[in-house]
Amino acid sequence: MAMAGLYRRRLPSPPAIDFASSEGKQLFVEAIQNGTMEGFYRLISYFQTQSEPAYCGLASLSMVLNALAIDPGRKWKGPWRWFDESMLDCCEPLEKVKATGISFGKLVCLGLCAGAKVEAYRTNQSDIDDFRKHVIQCSISDDCHIISSYHRGIFKQTGTGHFSPIGGYHAGTDMALILDVARFKYPPHWVPLKLLWEAMDSIDETTGQHRGFMLISRPHTEPGLLYTLSCKHESWAGISKYLVDDVPVLLKSEDVKDINKLLYVVFSSLPSNFEELIKWVAEVRRHEDGGASLSQEEKGRLAVKEEVLKQVQETGLFKHVAEFLSSANSCCRSMPILSPEDDLPRIAAHICCQGAEILAGKFSSSGGYCCRETCVRCLKTTDEKSVTLVSGTVVDGGSEQGVDVLVPSAQMKPSCCGCGPSRRIGMHPAGNDVLTALLLALPPETWSGIKDGKLLQEMNTLVSTQSLPMLLQEEVLHLRRQLHLLKRCQENKVDEDLGAPLA
């Protein structure tokens, strides 16, 4: 009986040398002796095969992220947090990647969204000597890894564009080890670095741009504690453009004389789907995880988040934002996300749906989740501090699940409540503090168009990150980096500042 399909390909050699061949083994041993295989051990520990023919970029990235021990912050399956190709969908829908693959720039965007530090280099803005320097740099340590984007044709291999990590370097022969994630097709193999450069120095016909390579390492800063921005929902492009591009133009065109008028100009034109941009970073547990007791890790994270929230609400800018939004003349009172009087059941339902997304590894999904019932309770930890537990039954199609979400409470006297909709607690996962943090996160040049000198000086003082406590300063800088990333993703310029990580 005839069997359809292909079982592997014969590796064209030369120019490549099979890693498992006698010559390949000798190169490996010599490279180990010369200290240029240090990055190999982490990578080989997490070496994977791409699960779809067009998933080479996703497989390469998830392999590198796991090798760097970057915590995805959300569950993969069961209780495990782990990067998998299926979780790398914040910059490009998986169905589109499955059909056509992913571009160099979008893969850079994915790495940044996943929490890594990424330095991207296209070959027309670099050279082979710099490439060799970076290959050696990542081969003698295990804290950075390189993903190469190249054309297989240079190596006489079948196929066209491809992504794979570089696993090591042999100085004597000037050869690099490619850990090919298409393991069903070709094994890991050594190739002359000069030929690898030529394979990268080709044009991607889909984008019309040169291929290249990216250095991926752990970030120096931790991810956001309270808030994160989403580039999954379709609204993010317009909202990020408004915040970064349109607000400065509005301030230049308006005769703004005081803070109240300035806030009116900024908030009155906010896109109606603004709340889809920002997500509350919540601690999520399932009902079946058992009880309401908190682990030491959960207690520690919640304590830090409480402190950040307190610091947001102690800023001078927060006081102005709160006064403006509570004003009877504020035109923004019709926007639910902006009102300090958000309806608690609606907030609780929103948080539970977000929690279900996190548990399922589906951020900003297109609307399948609906929260049928919610309950908000105040719990006491062992040190007598109060934390807020939002519980709900979330329905997704024909299935339902119980979700518990732990959130920090606002720094006001808490009034613990039961499940009734009429009782409130000091919890604002999307309110005055959100807008305060986002205003602080806007690029400093946003306010340069203010014509009134006194107001300009006052606003610069209010939004200065230098005067903020360290925790809040890190949170604001995290949001600022995310805004910058969203704008560059929107313009397809995520890798325009080649050779430099996001600032």
Q: From the candidates 84, 89, 180, 204, which is the catalytic residue?
A: 180
Do 286 and 402 contact (CB within 8 A), yes or no? yes
The answer to whether residues 51 and 85 touch, using CB atoms and an 8 Å cutoff, is yes
For residue 10, the tally of other CB atoms under 10 A from its CB is 8
The C-alpha atoms of residue 183 and residue 53 are separated, in whole angstroms, by: 11
- Whose tokens are 């503090």? That residue is 433
To the query of whether residue 258 is one of the catalytic residues in this protein, the response is: no
**Active site includes 56?**
yes
Tokens 């808030």 sit on residue: 227
CB burial of residue 290 (10 Å; 0-12, 13-18, 19+):
exposed
Instruction: Give the residue among 248, 424, 428, 262 at the shortest CA–CA distance from 337.
Output: 428
Contacts for 322 with CB less than 8 Å, ≥ 6 apart: 340, 432
CA distance 102 to 108: 10
3-state secondary structure of 273: coil
Whole-angstrom CA distances from 177 to 21, 196, 217, 346, 464 are 13, 10, 19, 54, 47
- List 151, 162, 233, 320, catalytic entry: 162
Distance from C-alpha of 180 to C-alpha of 444, rounded to nearest angstrom: 43
180 labelled catalytic: yes
Q: Which residue type is seen at 462?
A: L
Overall size of the chain counted in residues = 503
CA-to-CA dists, residue 6 to 9, 15, 159, 497, angstroms: 8, 23, 14, 41
**Distance between alpha carbon 361 and the CA centroid of its chain, in Å?**
13
Interacting residues of 28 by C-beta distance below 8 A, sequence separation 6+: 19, 37, 168, 177
How far is Cα 212 from Cα 205, in angstroms, rounded to an integer? 14
Query: Any idea which residues carry the catalytic annotation?
Result: 56, 162, 180
